[in-house]
Amino acid sequence: MGHARWRKIKLNFLKIIVMKKYFSIVITCLFFFSCKDLDEMNINPNGVDPAKGDVSLLINTVIVSSGTTTLNLGFGDLAGVMQHTQKDGWAGGHNAYDWNTRDWSYDVLRNADEMLRKAEEANNDFYAGVAKLFMAYNYGMITDLWGDAPFLEALQGNIGNKKPKFDLQKDIYSGVLTYLEEANTLLSKNQNDYAINMSQDVLYGGNVAKWQKFANSLALRYYLRISEKEPAIAENGIRKILSNPAIYPLVLDAADDAAFVYPGVNSGTAWPTNLVYNADLTNWRRYKMCSTLVEPMRAMNDPRLPVWASKVDIPLVLDTSREPGFDQIIDGKRVIGQGVADEFLAVFGEPLCYNDDYVGYPPSWSEIMYAYNLVDITQVEQAPLHPHVSHISTLYQKASDPLLKAIMLSAAEIHFSLAEIALKGWGGNAEEHYYAGIKASFDVWGVSDGYNAYIATPGVVFNNTLTQIMEQKWIAAWSAASEAWFDWRRTGLPALLPGKKNVKREAIPLRFYYGDNELNYNSDNVREAIERLQMTNFSIEEEGKNSAWSKMWLLQDTGKPW
């Protein structure tokens, strides 16, 4: 596969490979990414007529499509932006923000809309509530990533509207919150009051109470999202939720996370970097831990680090008693003299790292830099490309594992959000939720035994600052870095800096470029939306306002993140 084609696949938000045949019971998987309304498709003679199919057969399509899209962003290039990982090959979009235009698709929304229509026809409030939740989830993701977008006219292709108007981002967020309020009402009855095919629900097995928690937690996310631009609306909405926990329950326990395990029964349902269906090591091997994440985790003795990262194959040791040019592997370690270290610093402007366990790849370096003048493959049998930097752990070579999940929303996220809300004075106890957020993340990653020691560590003990809350929230967003990006844009925290070597601009980007489909086929409407963007010091004339460094409404006049 060519370099350009691979980058196109990795960068395109809504042209991600569909997880085919996710569960054998989901016989409507052929409908995942149709460009037409389901009732207008050719009927699969071996499948279900969508016009007659039961509404329950759509729920997994919507869940899986939404979750895999989120995972491919949060474990993919946005993990590079948020400096969780870096790549040492095909790294432009991951390390350097070298992005192309990206098109969206409304296919999952068409499926959710079809699910809603069928649910309303059947008077089934459960499926109607879930459908509205995912309408909110996916419209929210689109406006988070691009800004203004089609909303009210987005799903009118079947009635001939091929050029929908772009709604204001402010109005889309309002629509998202309306959907979630309606979903909460629809999902508020007792479990026995619903007709549910529980075997079709891969996320919660038909547990209505958990779905209701997901809907309200998503609303909390979006009230906080708009809190810099619409503080009164955000405060009122958040206070409404917090003052009525019986009416607005939240995801506060890791057991209620909106996350599903990759089943790994074939290549289409396996974790993206697996070696089970892809024996070539390169896809897994090109993912490295980023030094920005590794160093604070090492400093705090974070037990999640060995779950996520591999130790370096060959640690570096600086021995100043040796000749300056000394460079030799001794007992599995590369021992170098001061001259070798000085040469590296002179060439790259960064010192070498001598950690003997975990070493992060510096942000925004190219695929050759960290190995420059250091790796002599002849000295080590079958040495990896970069033996002095930590790969992601071998967990991510598996096709399936209880830890390999697509995370759409977590209890850890909500607790950290509640800690921030408490600091704003809008209710709750910041310290309580800060520690609960750490505990929820530890529970998810199977390291609960290390919790008590961790929270007693200097740097972890709560100091009542937003900086500390957002750093822990950023760490907990591992494999779900899209949400970390949205939080960073809103708060400027953690205080990440772009790398010094190969970044496309000397600032972290803020949004996706509007894609060619809209620019070529809906040009009048997209250009109106582009004109509403605000250029910054990092936008350039060649791009105009349609820049990854231009500010959407959400960030305009906030002074954030820069």
Q: What is the pLDDT of residues 11-28, one digit of tens each?
A: 333 333 333 333 333 322
561 found inside a domain: no
Residue partners of 525: CB distance under 8 A and separation at least 6: 150, 163, 164, 165, 166, 518
Is residue 112 a part of any domain in this protein? yes
pLDDT of residue 11: 35
Q: Which domain holds residue 464?
A: 411-479
Query: What's the rounded Cα separation, in Å, for the pair 292 and 477?
Result: 14
Give the domain-ending residue among 262, 297, 314: 262
Query: How far apart (Å, rounded) are the C-alpha atoms in residues 112 and 180?
Result: 14
Range in 125-129, 216-220, 313-317, 551-555 with the lowest mean pLDDT: 313-317
* 232, part of any domain: yes
pLDDT of 238: 98
Give the lowest-confidence range in 369-378, 427-436, 480-489, 490-499.
369-378
State the pLDDT confidence band at 387, using cuts at 50, 70 and 90: confident
Q: What are phi and psi of 263, to 5 degrees?
A: -75, -30
pLDDT of residue 368: 55
Could you tell me the two tokens for 125? 């409030």
Cβ(65)–Cβ(13) below 8 Å = no
**pLDDT for 1 beyond 50:** no
**Predicted pLDDT at 374:** 53
> 3-class DSSP state for residue 340?
helix
Mean pLDDT of 147-173: 96
Would the pLDDT of 237 be above 50? yes
Q: Sorting pLDDT into bands at 50, 70 and 90, what band is 385?
A: low
CA proximity to 297, closest of 487, 409, 438, 430: 438
Q: How many domains does the chain fold into?
A: 3
Inside any domain, residue 322: yes
ω into 494 cis (within 30 of 0): yes
Is the confidence at residue 520, as pLDDT, over 90?
A: yes
The rounded mean pLDDT for the chain is 88
305-356 residue pLDDT tens: 999 999 999 899 999 999 999 999 899 999 999 999 998 888 878 899 999 9
509 lies in some domain:
no
Q: Are residues 356 and 425 in the same domain?
A: no
Instruction: Answer with the residue of higher pLDDT: 87 or 33.
Output: 87
Same domain? 348 vs 241: no
372 and 416 co-located in one domain: no
Q: What is the 3-state secondary structure (H, E, C) of 449-516?
A: HHHHHHHCCCCCCCCCCHHHHHHHHHHHCCCCHHHHHHHHHHHCCCCCCCCCCCCCCCCCCCCCCECH
Rounded to the nearest angstrom, the gap between the alpha carbon of residue 142 and the centroid of all alpha carbons in its chain is 13
Are 393 and 415 within one domain? no
Residue 19 belongs to some domain of the structure: yes
Q: Do the domain assignments include residue 552?
A: no
Are both 344 and 243 inside the same structural domain? no
Gap between the Cα atoms of 115 and 105, Å rounded: 17
Which is higher by pLDDT, 395 or 36? 395
Q: How far apart are CA 562 and CA 553, in angstroms?
A: 15
Cα–Cα distance measured from residue 494 to residue 297, given in angstroms and rounded to the nearest whole number: 14
Q: How far is CA 463 from CA 428, 430, 455, 466, 543, in A?
A: 16, 10, 12, 9, 43
Residues 346 and 416 in one domain: no
pLDDT in tens, 154-163: 999 889 999 9
Phi, psi of 327 (to 5 degrees): -160, 100
Mean pLDDT of 89-111: 90
Instruction: Judge contact between 262 and 405, C-beta under 8 A.
Output: yes
* CATH number of the domain within which 253 lies: 1.25.40.390
Region of 358 (left: φ > 0; alpha: ψ -120 to 50; beta: rest) is beta
48 confidence band (pLDDT: 50, 70, 90): very low
SS3 442: helix
Residue 178's nearest CA partner among 208, 201, 151 is 151
Cα–Cα distance measured from residue 384 to residue 89, given in angstroms and rounded to the nearest whole number: 13
391, 456: one domain: no
Identify whether 222 is part of a domain: yes
More confident: 279 or 495: 495
Under 8 Å CB-to-CB from 321, ≥6 apart: which residues?
none
Helix or strand (DSSP H, E) at 316: strand 316-318
| pLDDT score at 234 | 98
| pLDDT of amino acid 51 | 55
Closest CA to 433 of 456, 452, 417: 417
Q: Is residue 101 domain-shared with residue 177, that is, in the same domain?
A: yes
Which pLDDT does position 14 carry in this prediction? 32
Is there a single domain that holds both residue 138 and residue 195? yes
Token pair of 388 as six digits: 């002095």
Same domain, 86 and 225: yes
Tell the residue number behind the tokens 């960064």, with chain if given: 350
Q: Which amino acid is at 417?
A: S
Do 197 and 75 lie in one domain? The reply is: yes
**Residues 439 and 377 grouped into a single domain:** no
